[in-house]
Amino acid sequence: MNSTGSGRSYVLPLAFAMTVSMWAVAYVCRLPAVMAPSWIVLVLMLAMVALWGWRTGFRTGGGWLAGVMVGAAAAVLNMLILGSILASADGGGVAPSALWWVPGSILVIALIAGGFAAVPGRGVDDVIDPAGWTALFSKVAVAATFLLVVAGGLVTSNEAGLAVVDWPNTFGSNMFLFPLARMTGGIYYEHAHRLFGALVGLTTIVLAVRLWRRDDRPWLRRLATAAVVLVMVQGVLGGLRVTEISDHLAVLHGCLAQAFFCVLLLIAFVSSNKWFPAAERLAVEVVARLSRISG
């Protein structure tokens, strides 16, 4: 049974949802077969900010302030990819423009999200309870992992698994500071896969912490811990696949990805508000059958 919670329990689930949506749009738009103009990528990413800003206002009743908090949190999460835009051309560090890009991006995203969150006003009847936010967070983790699996499939199908020859760095650069301009062809597939892996890892860890704090079911807490262990092992296997050049590791890495995805699906299923009525009905049926047998 889920424990109760209050306050700003919606901030992280919605911030991660906004971030995953923005990354999905950017990833598709920058695929070598697509290569959409930068302004289109920017517009679509900001559209995701507006969408989730609106949903924040609609589902929290918190108005513009709720949107600002969610937008600011999402902007901080986006630092995982913003470094690629701010990196110097040689990958040796960040450009001087980072001094205004970082606070500027946080401010812009927060203001856009806050503005759209204020549109619907306080939709009290549509407000989600704390347990519902945890359920949403688990679904976001599933969505992020699905994108990671798709990205991994594209790495394999395009034979780009060894397009980047080192790990955890990327051609000697910090993984999060590898210049966007150098992400072309197979390098894009492989490096984007690594970035998605980092996002999924962070999402899984935060989700596990949330479940430990807000859910009183011991078995679900252990399942969340298992998910964290799996995602860490996956990260190491992915790196060893590069440094050791082993087909066996590649197969293990691919199979474990499916297992990890299934674990997150299970977490999302049992975190859903629909799980509890179903579980209660099952318990009643079991008790009734046991009573008939014993009678």
| pLDDT tens digits, 19-56 | 999 999 999 999 988 989 989 999 999 999 999 999 99
Distance of alpha carbon 148 from alpha carbon 160, whole angstroms: 15
Q: What is the dihedral of CA 53, 21, 81, 268, to 10 degrees?
A: 110
Instruction: Give a yes or no: residue 128 inside a domain.
Output: yes
Instruction: Give a yes or no: residue 5 inside a domain.
Output: no
Give the per-residue pLDDT at 181. 79
Average pLDDT over residues 179-204: 90
Instruction: Give a yes or no: residue 269 inside a domain.
Output: yes
Total domains in the chain come to 1
Give the per-residue pLDDT at 234. 92
Distance of alpha carbon 169 from alpha carbon 160, whole angstroms: 16
Instruction: Give a yes or no: residue 6 inside a domain.
Output: no
Residue 4 scores a pLDDT above 50 = no
Instruction: Give a yes or no: residue 1 inside a domain.
Output: no
Instruction: Give a yes or no: residue 157 inside a domain.
Output: yes
Domain encompassing residue 132: 11-294
* Mean pLDDT of all residues belonging to the chain: 84
Cα–Cα distance list, 179 to 9, 95, 143, 268 (Å): 35, 10, 26, 35
Instruction: Give a yes or no: residue 243 inside a domain.
Output: yes
Distance of alpha carbon 19 from alpha carbon 13, whole angstroms: 10
Tally of CA atoms within 13 A in the half-sphere of 20 that contains its CB: 26
Cα–Cα distance list, 198 to 77, 191, 193, 203, 234 (Å): 11, 11, 9, 9, 11
Q: Lowest mean pLDDT: which of 22-26, 103-107, 128-132, 276-280?
A: 276-280
Q: What is the pTM of this model?
A: 0.85
Distance of alpha carbon 111 from alpha carbon 59, whole angstroms: 18
SS3 (DSSP) at 38? helix
Distance of alpha carbon 132 from alpha carbon 216, whole angstroms: 15
Scan for tokens 């049926």, then name that residue.
285
Instruction: Give a yes or no: residue 280 inside a domain.
Output: yes
